[in-house]
Amino acid sequence: MSGTPKISESEWEIMKIIWRNDAPITAEQIALQLPEGIDWSEQTVRTFVTRLLKKGAISFEKEGRSYHYYPLVSEKECVKSESRSFLKRVFGGAAHMMVTNFLEDAELSEKEIEHLQKILTEKQDKTKTARME
């Protein structure tokens, strides 16, 4: 999706917490849910939240004096956008080069290999069907 905002690595940490919550969440609650090893102050969290608001990734509901933040973009949309950007930037858009690179170094279970084979077979079938049309 071309309208998906570009999110920095630090902003991803904030977004993961917002996506994980079923209801809008305050900056204070976000700060409390940061993963171990990320010791940002509530003010630092507010800075990243402000950036995400400006980028259109999140919005808020005001309840009294509190602001409750919620996502405007889905995690799936952002992952797809980031994946496309990475593929283009690192592999010149060549998906087969990226997949080959990852598979050469990855340790996969039998189940994971079967799942990947299924995806490739489905892709192959779609390509064959498209050529016939």
- Residue 14 pLDDT > 60, yes or no? yes
- Residue 1 pLDDT > 50, yes or no? no
Residue 69: beta bridge partners? 25, 60
Residue 70: beta bridge partners? 59
Phi, psi values for residue 61, rounded to 5°: -120, 135
- Residue 37 pLDDT > 80, yes or no? yes
Report how far apart, in Å, the C-alpha atoms of 46 and of each of 12, 50, 83 are: 14, 6, 27
For 61, the 3-state DSSP assignment is strand
| Nearest-10 Cα torsion for 113, 115, 119, 122 | 110
Q: How many CB atoms lie within 10 A of CB 84?
A: 15
Provide mean pLDDT across the span 79-106: 91
- Segment 95-129, tens digit of pLDDT: 999 989 988 988 999 999 999 999 999 999 988 88
**pTM for this entry:** 0.78
Q: How confident is the model at residue 21 (pLDDT cuts 50, 70, 90)?
A: very high
